[in-house]
C-alpha cells in the first residue's frame, strides 16, 4: 500500500489489530480503525493499545459494532479492508456466550461483506484461525486438509471464512483468508497462555497449565503476522485463496516455560490441570502455499519473540517487575 491509500482495520484496538494499524501508519497509510470494545478483556488495556496510533494525524478511530449500522461510508473511504475484529477464545466459546460468538464472528463478518459487495474493487483480507482444523488429519497441515473444528469458536471462524469465500464465488468480492496459528508477542490478550505465563513469571504466582505441558503449538510472532496481512492485501494471485500463516515453531508448553524461567531468572511454580474442552494436542502449519504465492517467510522464532513479550510485560504494569533483571 502507498501513502495515498486508506485502510480499514476492524478490531484495531486488539492485539494483532493495533500492531497492524501502527505498521500501516508508519508507512504513511491513512487508517480508519474500528472497534466495539467487546468485554473479553479490559477496555483500558485496549485503549492503551491505541495510544501510539492516536498520535498520528492520519488515523481515525470509529467506535462501532460491525453487526449493526450502515457500513457503506467506511467502505467508500477505504481502498482495502483488514477484517480482524472477532470474539476470541476457545474455552470461553462454550455455553451461554455462544450467541456472542455468532454475533461478533459470523454476523459482523456477513454485514461487512455485504458492504464490500455494494462497494466493489477493494481487497478484503479476513483473519481466520488454525482452530478451523481441530484435530488435523495431517501435521504439518496444508490448506486442503478437511476442517473439523473442535470448539464453538473454531466453528464460528470456519463459518465466517466460508461466508467470505461465498461472497467471492458469488459476487466477486476480492477476498483473501489467512489461517493464523497461535499468534504471540507484546500486547497479547491477558487470557492467552504466553501472556499469563509471562505475568506469573514476573510475579512469582503459580502457573496453571491445562494438560501435561507436552502439547505443542505452531507459535507465530505478531510482527510476522502483520507482514503476512500486508502482503496478502496486495498480492495479485491471492484473490479467493486461503493461506496458513505459521511461524514454523512447533514448541511444547513445557519448553516455553523453561525459556521463561531463564528470562525471569527464577524457578516457576507450575500446576498441571486437566485438559480443557476444545483444546487440541498439536498444531503445525504447512506454509508452502504462503511461501510460494505471498513470499511469506517468518523471521522471529519463539525464543526471541517470547523474550520480547516477557520484556513488554516487565514494562507494562507489574509491581514486582523491578526485582527481575533484564537481558
Please give the positions annotated as active site: 153
- Residue 12 grid coordinates: 484495531
Beta-strand runs (E) in the chain: 6-10, 30-35, 59-63, 80-83, 123-129, 174-180, 183-184, 207-210, 216-218, 220-221, 242-245, 250-252, 270-273
Strand partners, 242: 177
Task: Compute the C-alpha angle 113/182/277, nearest 5°.
Answer: 90
DSSP string, 23-38: HHHHTT-EEEEEE---
- Cα 114 from Cα 55, distance rounded (Å): 32
φ, ψ for residue 203, nearest 5 deg = -90, -20
Name the nearest CA neighbour of 30 among 50, 49, 57, 10. Answer: 57
| Strand blocks (E) in 206-291 | 207-210, 216-218, 220-221, 242-245, 250-252, 270-273
Q: What is the DSSP letter of 285?
A: B
Distances (CA, A) of 127 to 20, 60, 105, 184, 227: 12, 21, 11, 15, 13
Closest CA to 209 of 278, 256, 271, 267: 271
Distance CA 65, CA 62 (A): 10
Decide: 185 and 248 in contact? Cβ < 8 Å.
no
CB 187 within 8 A of CB 18: yes
Amino acid at each position: 500500500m502507498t501513502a495515498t491509500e486508506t485502510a480499514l482495520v476492524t478490531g484495531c484496538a486488539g492485539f494483532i489489530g493495533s500492531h497492524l494499524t501502527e505498521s500501516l501508519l508508519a508507512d504513511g497509510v491513512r487508517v480508519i480503525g474500528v472497534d466495539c470494545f467487546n468485554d473479553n478483556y479490559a477496555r483500558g488495556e485496549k485503549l492503551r493499545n491505541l495510544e501510539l496510533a492516536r498520535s498520528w494525524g492520519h488515523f481515525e478511530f470509529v467506535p462501532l459494532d460491525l453487526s449493526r449500522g450502515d457500513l457503506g461510508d467506511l467502505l467508500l473511504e477505504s481502498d482495502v479492508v483488514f477484517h480482524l475484529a472477532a470474539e476470541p477464545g476457545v474455552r470461553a466459546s462454550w455455553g451461554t456466550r455462544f450467541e456472542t460468538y455468532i454475533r461478533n464472528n459470523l454476523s459482523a463478518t456477513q454485514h461487512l461483506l455485504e458492504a464490500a459487495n455494494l462497494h466493489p474493487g477493494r481487497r478484503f483480507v479476513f483473519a481466520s484461525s488454525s482452530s478451523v482444523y481441530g484435530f488435523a488429519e495431517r501435521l504439518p497441515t496444508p490448506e486442503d486438509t478437511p476442517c473439523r473444528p473442535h470448539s464453538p469458536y473454531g466453528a464460528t471462524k470456519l463459518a465466517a471464512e466460508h461466508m467470505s469465500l461465498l461472497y467471492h464465488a458469488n459476487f466477486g468480492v476480492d477476498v483473501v483468508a489467512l489461517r493464523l496459528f497461535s499468534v504471540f508477542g507484546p500486547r497479547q490478550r491477558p487470557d492467552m497462555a504466553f501472556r499469563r505465563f509471562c505475568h506469573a513469571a514476573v510475579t512469582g504466582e503459580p502457573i496453571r497449565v491445562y494438560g501435561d505441558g507436552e502439547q505443542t503449538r505452531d507459535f507465530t510472532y505478531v510482527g510476522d503476522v502483520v507482514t503476512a496481512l500486508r502482503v496478502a492485501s496486495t498480492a495479485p494471485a491471492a484473490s479467493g485463496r486461503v493461506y496458513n500463516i505459521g511461524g514454523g515453531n512447533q514448541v511444547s508448553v513445557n519448553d516455553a516455560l523453561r525459556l521463561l524461567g531463564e528470562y525471569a531468572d527464577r524457578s516457576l511454580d507450575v500446576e498441571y490441570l486437566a485438559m480443557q474442552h476444545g483444546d487440541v494436542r498439536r498444531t503445525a502449519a504447512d506454509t508452502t502455499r504462503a511461501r510460494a504465492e505471498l513470499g511469506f517467510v517468518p523471521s522471529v522464532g519463539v525464543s526471541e519473540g517470547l523474550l520480547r513479550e516477557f520484556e513488554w510485560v516487565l514494562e507494562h504494569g507489574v509491581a514486582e517487575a523491578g526485582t527481575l533483571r533484564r537481558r
